[in-house]
Structure 1
Amino acid sequence: MADETLAPVPTILDTFIELLPEIGKAAGETGLMMLICLTAAVIVGGALGILVFLTSPGQVLGRYRRFNLVANGFINVFRSFPFIILLVAVSPFTRHIVGTSIGPLAASVPLSLAAIFYFARIIEQTLRDVPRGVIEAAEAMGASPLQIVTQVLLVEARSGLILAVTITAVSFLSYSAVAGVVGGGGIGDLAIRYGYYRFQTDVMLITIVLLVVLVQGIQFFGQWLARRVDKR
């Protein structure tokens, strides 16, 4: 009976080394999507959240009740969309903006839209933790709305604001993985192409571990920074 030579069984480490270029490319695409959507969230969503807070009843700009109602309506509508549905629904708008509906730049459009309204709501809720007496004291001293925002709200709520950015980053890291389902690129796309379509469980496991490490890193850094700036 002839000797049979068994082929070596590839380990997860072997698979990781083999796919290292693909993993690096996917991580770069995920990083690009996160950079774009978080920038949009902080700039546009942050401003929207502050305005919603300031125009709420009893606040500095409470007389602008109509703006508050409209802005709250938009935030509630966009936050009610499951991300995968939003991804498909805004694809015509995405093609108009970036010229395509696939790839990391295209995925950044729905990610940014979702992040803006998600972050706006978190910012509004974070600012509500600022003691009303501090705001009233600033008003009594003649501070303008802009001064109240820059010298009172953002200073008093700085720890909560950092945690708000951290929560948004963690949430939209998972959303960016969902974008891979429709060709958005990134780590999610790698998991779908290799782990799902090719039934390579080891690749799926590698992407899961990579996402867990990224989430833990973001969460740890955000909480550490929030503790450093919290002077209470």
Structure 2
Amino acid sequence: MNQSIELLLNHRSVRKFEDKPLTREQIETIVRCAQSASTSSFIQAYSIIGITDQEKKNKLAQIAGDQNYVANNGHFFVFCADLSRHELVGEMENKDVHPSIESTEKFMVALIDTALAAQNAVIAAESMGLGICYIGGIRNNLEDVCNLLKTPKRVIPLFGLAVGFPAQNTDKKPRLPLQSVYHENEYHQDKEEIRNGLEMYNGIISEYYFKRTDGKRNDTWTSQMANMLEKQSRMYMKEFVEKLELNLK
């Protein structure tokens, strides 16, 4: 097993960081690595906002559900799907690009491009001995986030990324069994087989939580997911995205 594979397989989220900022070189290296990710048709439909203003970090932490590690880390990045510069491209080249950049297809391209760039950034950060935590909680109130970060139309902040020097060791959380996520030639739809895989995973996760909490917690993955999905959250998203003139067609 090579070092790259070991790095990927040892990924874990870090939620407590040392009070030590990243260097400018580290920040720029992470961003350059993000930019090296694959991008659909070279469209590069994303932007990255680095947050150094502590008041802004505190506000983002509050929006994200009072998550302390959003405010206290080595550096905080916000990854945004961005089709605003492509509107300018149309103006520069005297082409009507609006039907395209307002389409669901290009919205999906922007989301995928952003996620690919972010994962490259994560791998780069972890290769430098840094820890990371993705922050989807900024989507709790995107209107406030957009106002705070002064993002223009056709830009949507998707998630944050807290990066820093880990202040504590964290456990590696077991993932679904390979056979539950990998299909060959066609999607395997045998519900009994799927159920058996989930039951096996429930046992693994229950044991993981039991050991991690000294017996205080032993819930299963399916119960955790069902409870979470039963509660509707961020149901404003479709209307908000359309207001930014994205995903209209």
Q: How high is the TM-score relative to the length of structure 2?
A: 0.26
Judging by fraction of residues, say which structure has more helix. 1
Judging by fraction of residues, say which structure has more strand. 2
For the pair shown, the structure with the greater C-alpha radius of gyration is 1
Q: How high is the TM-score relative to the length of structure 1?
A: 0.27
